[in-house]
Amino acid sequence: MNVLTGDSERDRPGRPAAWELDPPPTAAPEEERSRLLEYVVLRATGVLLAVLVLGHFAVTHLVTDVAHDNSAFVARRLSSGLWIAWDSTMLGAALVHGVTGLRIATADYLLDTRARRIAEVSILALGAVLLVIGSLAIGRAAVA
């Protein structure tokens, strides 16, 4: 398998691809459900972020040049309910999406259950700390 050209062993008839050799592990029903929930959360926040993040980028780079995004600009922008709602939703969705995506991605490389558990808890803790820091900043700007 060449990742750059995309040449796959599957393309050669009669030879199974590498990922076909090992049957996927069968998951317990409750694990299936949590995977489905995780999948729906990842996609739903993803659609939301496609709008919120690109809108955020447009406002902070195209509408106003990034050189003028100082604390006065933040205080002015965050005096509007629309932007408080926008930034709060974006913060929450981005962290949920990032934590979920990173959890799925790291699990692909950590075969040991304990190592996977440690990674999961660390990623979740990082997300929780960032949520607090981000919320405090939005709250501070909203009341300023």
Partner 1 sequence: MSAVQIAFAAGLAGVLVALLASTALVVHKGLAGGSLDRLGIRRATENSGARRVAFYVHRLTGVGVFAFLCLHILDVGLFTLSHRLYDQVQELYGTAELRVFECLLLLAVLFHAGNGLRLLLFDLGLLDSAASKSALGVVAAATGAAGIAGSVFILAPVFK
How many Cα atoms occupy the beta-carbon half-sphere of 98 within 13 Å? 17
DSSP letter for each residue of 14-75: T---HHHHSPPPPPPHHHHHHHHHHHHHHHHHHHHHHHHHHHHHIIIIIIS-GGG-SHHHHH
Is 80 a binding residue for partner 1 by CB under 8 A? The answer is no
Is 109 a binding residue for partner 1 by CB under 8 A? The answer is yes
CB of 77 vs partner 1, minimal distance in Å: 12
Q: How far apart are the first and last CA of the chain?
A: 56
Is 70 a binding residue for partner 1 by CB under 8 A? The answer is yes
Find, among 49, 47, 83, the residue nearest to 63 by Cα.
83
Is 66 a binding residue for partner 1 by CB under 8 A? The answer is yes
> What are φ and ψ of residue 2, in 5° steps?
-105, 115
Q: Which of 37, 85, 107, 121 binds partner 1 (CB under 8 A)?
A: 107
CB of 82 vs partner 1, minimal distance in Å: 18
* Residue list 17-36, contact with partner 1 (CB under 8 A): 17-20, 22, 24, 35
The binding site for partner 1 (CB under 8 A) comprises 1-4, 6, 8, 10-11, 17-20, 22, 24, 35, 39, 43, 46-47, 49-50, 53-54, 57, 61-62, 65-67, 69-71, 74, 91, 94-95, 98, 101-102, 104-105, 107-109, 126, 130, 133-134, 136-137, 140-141
